[in-house]
Chain A
Amino acid sequence: MSEGDERRAGEHIRTTPAESHREREIDHVLEALDPDRERPHDVVLSKDLSLSFGENRILSGVNIEFRRGTITALIGPTGCGKSTFLRTLNRMNDKVSGFRYEGDVTLEGASIFGPDQNLLHLRRRVGMVFQRPNPFPMSIRDNVVAGVKAHQIAKGKQLDVVAEERLRQVGLWGHVKDRLNDSPFRLSGGQQQLLCLARALAVGPEVLLLDEPTSALDPISTELVESLLRKLTPALTLIIVTHNLGQARRASDHTMFLYGGKLVEHGPTAELFERPKEPSTEHYVTGRMG
C-alpha cells in the first residue's frame, strides 16, 4: 500500500461525522484502506477468446474472468489447450508461427493486445512459471534477480536484498544462502522450480501463470509449493494448470474445465467438483476420462 492511500484514508475518517454508525465507519475505513478499491474485481478477463494454430482451432469462445487475489485451477485432458490458453495471457504465443487469436483479453480493463500495451511491461505484470524448472546459466543469486535487473527495478546492494527476500519467501534461503554464487543446475529439481518461482516473484507481478508447476516434483515439494501459492494470495492472482485433480481441489478457489475446444464449465472449486453441471465435467473430475 502506498503512502497516498494512507493519507486519503485519514481524510476519510475526518470527514465522517463522529455521530454516525460506528459499523459503517469501520467499513468505510477498511474500504478506503484497500489499495485495490478502485480497481475492477476481475484482474484478467477473457472475452470471446478463440485460439488457433494455422487452420487448427484449439479453443473457441472462452469467456471467463479471473478475480483478484484468487487461485484458479485450469483443468482438462491433455491437448485440450490449457497451455495454449495460459500462454496467451502473457502473450508468450505471439512468436509461435501460425498462432492466431480472436476476441480479447484484458488486464485491469485494458486489452493486453492493445497498441499501447508494452509487451515487456505486460510480462512483468503477468509472470509465468513453467512445467519444468528452467534456471538461467548464471549463479543462483543472479537467477533470482535476473528480471529485476532487466527491468532496472533495483541495482547494486539492493539486488542482494531482493535475492534474499525472495529466496526466503519460497523457503530456499536456508538451503542456498552459502552457495548463492554457485550454479543453479546442481540444485534438485524441486529446488530449481522454487528458484524459478522466486525469480518470477522478484519482479513483483500482479498475476502469476503456472503451467503444471509441480508435475516434476515429489509429493513433499509439491505440498511445499501449494502452501506457498496459498500464501501468495491475496496479493497475487494465480492461474494454475494442473493434471492433478487433488491439487486443483486443495489449492484453488475457482476451477475451469476445458474440453473439446471449449470452456465447458467454471465455478467455485468445491461446487465444480461436488456438483458439476455438465456430464463431461463429471466424467473428468470423477476420473472416468482423461
Chain B
Amino acid sequence: MAAVSGAATGGTPPVAARPPTKRDPLLQRIRSSVWANEHHLWGWGGRISAAAPFVALVLTVLVLAFKAWPAVKVNGAHFLIGTDWKPGSTYGAVTYTNGVPHPLGVSYGAWPVIVGTLESSGIALLIALPISVGAAFALTERLPRWIAEILRYAVEILAGVPSVLIGLWGALTLGPLLANDVYPFIANHVPDVAGFSYLKGPVGHGEGLLTSGIVLALMIIPIIASTTRTLFAQVPPLPKEGGEALGMTDWEVGRRITIPWVRSGIIGATVLGLGRALGETIAVAMVSGSLLATISPNVYGTMGTIAATLVTQLDSAFVDGTGFEVRTLAELAVVLVLVLLVVNILARFIIRRTGNLSVPLGVGV
C-alpha cells in the first residue's frame, strides 16, 4: 500500500487499484477508503506514527529473542514441558552447554506457569464474558438512561484503577474473604461428578488460581463491557423490532438478534480482554501465590503465571553472574508473546468461521 500512495503523491501515473482480496472484502473496502484516499493526506508523518506501535512491538520481540537465544540453546524443549525451576548453584562453578555459560545444575521448565497463565485467564474469561455482555446489554437496552449513565461512569472508573490497587485489595480483602466464606461453600456443595473435582479439595487461604481468575475478571470486565456496550448501541432498531413483532421476548431478541448482530465485535473485545489478562502482572503476582514449579491440583491452589514470574524473579535473576537466568526470563517473555499471538490467530479464525452469518458492511440502518 505504501507503493500505491507513494505513487499517488509523487505525481507518477496512478497505479492500478489492487485486485480485490478474495478473502476479506471488508478489509478491502477499509483499505481502499482509508489507505488509498485519505492516507496520502497524512503524509510520511502519518505513516510513521501509524507504523510506530508495530515497529516498537517487532523491535521489542526481536531484542527479547536475541537476548533469549542462548537460553533456548541450553534449556531446549525441557523449557516448554519441564515442571521444575532450578537456578542451579549461582555462586558455584560456571559450566558451558553449547558454548553458553550458565551455573551448574540449572533446570528451567516453564510448563507450570504456562498452564497457570492459561488457566487463570481462562477462568477470568469465563467469569467476565457473561457479566460484561450482560452488563452491556442492561446498559443499552434495559436500564433507565440516568442509571445507565451512572453505571457507565462507574465502569470507566473501574477500567482506570491501577492494577496494583486491585491486586492489593485482592490480597488483603477479597482473597481472605473468598477463602473463608465462599470457597468452602463451593467445595462442599459441588456434585461428585468427574468434571467437578477441580472445585473440590483444600481451599487454601485466598491466594491462588481462582482468586487470580476473579481479580483478572474484575480487570477485564470494564474492557469487554465498554466495547460491547458501544457495539450494542450501534445495532439498528429494525431487526430488533422485527423480533419483537414476531412475539419474541426482550431476552430472545437480545440472545438471537442483538448479540449475534455484533458477534465478531464481541469476540474482538474478548480477545482484547484476554490479552490484558494473559499479560497482567502485578495484580496476579500479589494474589496467585507466585509459585514457579507447581500446577495447582484444584482451582483454589497457589500457582504462578508467566507475567507474574517475570516480575517476581527478575531481582534474583540478576544474582546469576552468568546472566543465564535473565536470558531464561527473556525466553519466558517470548513464550508469552507467542501465547498472545496464538490467541489472536485463534480469534481471527473464529471470527472468520462465524463471519459467514454476520452482517456485511453497508447493511443495516
Contacts and interface: CB of A to CB of B under 8 A. Distances in A.
Contact of B247 (A124, A137, A186): A124
B239 A123 contact: no
Interface string B233-264: 00000110111111111001000110011010
Given A124-B247, A151-B247, A92 B241 contact: yes
Contacts of A132: 238, 365
B241 A138 contact: no
Contacts of B11: none
B260 A137 contact: yes
Interface stretch (A196-204, A220-228, A267-275, A276-284): A196-204
A147 B248 contact: yes
A132 B242 CA distance: 10
A83 B358 CA distance: 29
Interface in B261-293: 261, 263
Given A128-B245, A147-B247, A134 B239 contact: yes
A146 B365 CA distance: 21
Contacts of B244: 92, 95, 123
B186 interface: no
A213 interface: no
A227 to B, nearest CB: 24
Contacts of A199: 242, 246
Contact of A146 (B256, B263, B359): B256
A138 B246 CA distance: 15
Contacts, number: 81
A200 B238 contact: no
A136 B245 contact: no
A185 B363 contact: yes
A123 B257 CA distance: 17
Q: Find the residue from A121, A122, A183 having the highest chain B CB count within 10 A.
A: A183
B246 A137 contact: no
Contacts of B249: 120, 150
A199 B296 CA distance: 51
B360 interface: yes
A99 interface: no
B357 interface: yes
Interface residues of B, number: 24
A121 B247 contact: yes
Nearest to A147: B246
A137 B239 contact: yes
A70 interface: no
B356 interface: yes
A175 B264 CA distance: 28
A136 B256 contact: yes
B356 A183 contact: yes
Interface in B309-339: none
A139 B247 contact: no
A113 interface: no
B249 to A, nearest CB: 6
Contact of A185 (B241, B245, B263, B360): B360
Contacts of A242: none
A200 to B, nearest CB: 7
A147 B252 CA distance: 10
Nearest to B252: A150
A192 B243 CA distance: 15
Contact of B356 (A121, A136, A182): A182
Interface in B29-58: none
B246 A123 contact: yes
Contacts of B246: 123-124, 127, 146-147, 150, 199-200, 203
Interface string A115-142: 0000111111001101010111111000
B357 A134 contact: no
Nearest to B354: A137
A179 to B, nearest CB: 11
Interface in A131-178: 132, 134-139, 146-147, 150-151
A46 interface: no
Given A92-B244, A203-B247, 9 more contacts: A92-B245, A123-B244, A134-B242, A136-B243, A137-B359, A139-B357, A146-B243, A146-B246, A147-B247
Interface of A: 90, 92, 95, 119-124, 127-128, 130, 132, 134-139, 146-147, 150-151, 182-183, 185-186, 196, 199-200, 203
7 contacts: A120-B248, A127-B245, A136-B256, A137-B359, A150-B247, A185-B363, A203-B246
- Nearest 3 pairs between A and B by C-beta? A123-B247, A147-B246, A128-B245
